[in-house]
Amino acid sequence: MIKIAPSILSADFANLERDIRRVASADYLHVDVMDGMFVPNISIGIPVVQSIRRVTDMALDVHLMIVEPVRYVEAFCDAGADLVTVHVESDTPEKIQSAIDRIHARGKRAGVVLKPKTPAEAALPYLEQVELILVMTVEPGFGGQKFMSDQMPKVAALRQLIDERNPACELEVDGGVAPDTCRACIDAGANVLVAGSAVYKAEDIPARILELRG
Ligand SMILES: O=C(CO)[C@@H](O)[C@H](O)COP(=O)(O)O
Ligand SMILES: [Fe+2]
């Protein structure tokens, strides 16, 4: 069963509760956290996650695009995140490991994220410990970008490694996922699809979520 994670980066932040309710038929709510350092954009942070937690029971998938995420993972867990993902490029392997350990110590799910130029092998040190691996299918920082189909071999390679070494681990893709690109992601082995603009620009959001499930 393919899971859909609408990204609230494409929601109306002045009507966030309304826009969260609009995607209630999805599986996870994807929350993009950007610090203006790791990526050239600034989005939202801990107080917004706290507020979202109060208005929904959906699982919160918090995608940290920040430098030295180990500094903040516990705060995001305490704010109500169910799953926290950190970029392997955002710190040293020791600090990434420490971020994963701290997320687990809070009883939450941890994941690692790979930017488009980062090879699948970069996930190997964490493969057997994490609950999710996220492959970016755009350069992180902005919604509404073009899907990078050249990331599909990486998704397929990670699917094989996950099946061999940690079959419970989820494989997520993020960026440019839409009705015309979701099939490639599913065929390559992704089981969680993040979609921002494709969900929030749809006339009929529940129908679009169903369509993205393939
Ligand atoms: O992490 C990011 C962007 O950095 C994403 O989660 C985007 O928010 C996805 O938006 P679309 O490409 O689906 O519009
Ligand atoms: Fe994201």
Going by alpha carbons, the residue nearest to atom 4 of ligand 1 is 140
Q: How far, in Å, is the centroid of ligand 1 from the Cα of 145?
A: 8
What does the DSSP 8-state code read for residue 104? H
Closest ligand 1 atom to the C-alpha of 199?
A: 13
Check if 145 has its Cβ closer than 6 Å to any atom of ligand 1. yes
Give the total number of structural domains in the chain.
Answer: 1
Residues 6-53 pLDDT 10s: 999 999 999 999 999 999 999 999 999 999 999 999 999 999 999 999
Q: Residue 127 — very low, low, confident or very high, per pLDDT cuts 50/70/90?
A: very high
Give the active site residues.
32, 174
Q: Supply the pLDDT for residue 198.
A: 98
28-34 β-sheet, strand order: 3-6, 192-195, 170-174, 132-136, 109-114, 83-87, 59-65, 28-34
* Contacts of residue 145, Cβ cutoff 8 Å, sequence gap at least 6: 138, 139, 175, 176
Helix (H) / strand (E) containing 63: strand 59-65
Alpha carbon 72 to its chain centroid, in Å, reads: 17
Q: Residue 137 — very low, low, confident or very high, per pLDDT cuts 50/70/90?
A: very high
Residues 50-102 pLDDT 10s: 999 999 999 999 999 999 999 999 999 999 999 999 999 999 999 999 999 99
Q: How far, in Å, is the centroid of ligand 1 from the Cα of 114?
A: 14
Alpha carbon 34 to its chain centroid, in Å, reads: 13
User: Is residue 111 within 8 Å of 84, Cβ to Cβ?
Assistant: yes
Check if 31 has its Cβ closer than 6 Å to any atom of ligand 1. no
Q: In terms of residue numbers, what domain contains 43?
A: 3-212
Residues 157-202 pLDDT 10s: 999 999 999 999 999 999 999 999 999 999 999 999 999 999 999 9
Helix (H) / strand (E) containing 83: strand 83-87
Q: Supply the pLDDT for residue 155.
A: 99
Check if 131 has its Cβ closer than 6 Å to any atom of ligand 1. no
Q: Supply the pLDDT for residue 82.
A: 99
Per-residue HEC secondary structure of 153-198 comes to HHHHHHHHHHHHHCCCCEEEEECCCCCCCHHHHHHHCCCEEEECHH
- How much is the pTM? 0.98
Residue 121 belongs to a domain with what CATH number? 3.20.20.70
Q: Supply the pLDDT for residue 35.
A: 98
Amino acid at 167: P
Check if 7 has its Cβ closer than 6 Å to any atom of ligand 1. yes
